Amino acid sequence: MPTSPPAREATGKVARVTEPLVVDSLGKSCPVPVIELSKAMNTVEVGAEVLVLADDPGAKIDIPVWCRMKRQELVDVREERGNWSFLVRRAL
């Protein structure tokens, strides 16, 4: 696991030192995606990222709220035909 912050490329975009840890919560209902995200965050270092996949209608609200409550950084949210992905960086 990397311990240094992600390096910056010449394009100005943040390059990921490693791929995010993927948590597949598809087909699981709330609060399971949030629980799985929380557990996964415990296994990565500060600065590393977790990508959660979920299709429960509550997840699109609950994962951003979890990030707010736990002061973790929600980097990106995407949706494709009811399948959501949330990229979360461990901030502390």
Partner 1 sequence: MERSYLDHASASPPHPAAIAAYSQVADQFFADPTRRHREGRAARDLLEQARGVVAKTLGGSPDRCLFTSGGTEAVHLAVRGAARANRTRPARVISAAVEHSAVLAAADQSGVEHVRVPVDRVGRIDLDALRQALRAGALLVNLQHANHEVGTIQPVREAAALCREADALLHVDACQTIGRLPVSFDDLGADLLSWSAAKFGGGRGSGGVLWWPRARLAGVLTGDEREHRRRSGLEHLPGIVAAAEALLQLRPNDPEGPAAEEAERADTLRRRLRERLTQTVEDLAVHGPEDGALPHLVAASALYVEGQALVDGLDRAGFAVHSGSSCATTSGEPSHVLVAMHALTHGHIRASWGPDTTAAELEAFATTVGDVVGQLRAHLAPGTRSHR
Interacting residues toward partner 1 by CB under 8 A = 29-31, 34-35, 38-39, 41-42, 56-58, 61-62, 64-66, 69-70, 90
Closer to partner 1 by CB, 51 or 62: give it: 62
Least separation, in Å, of the C-beta of 5 and partner 1? 18
Closer to partner 1 by CB, 15 or 91: give it: 91
Tokens representing 61 are 């609200």
Q: Which residues of 39-61 are buried (b: 16+ CB within 10 A; e: fewer)?
A: ebbeebeebbbbbbbbbbeebbe
Tokens representing 57 are 């209608």
30 counts as catalytic: yes
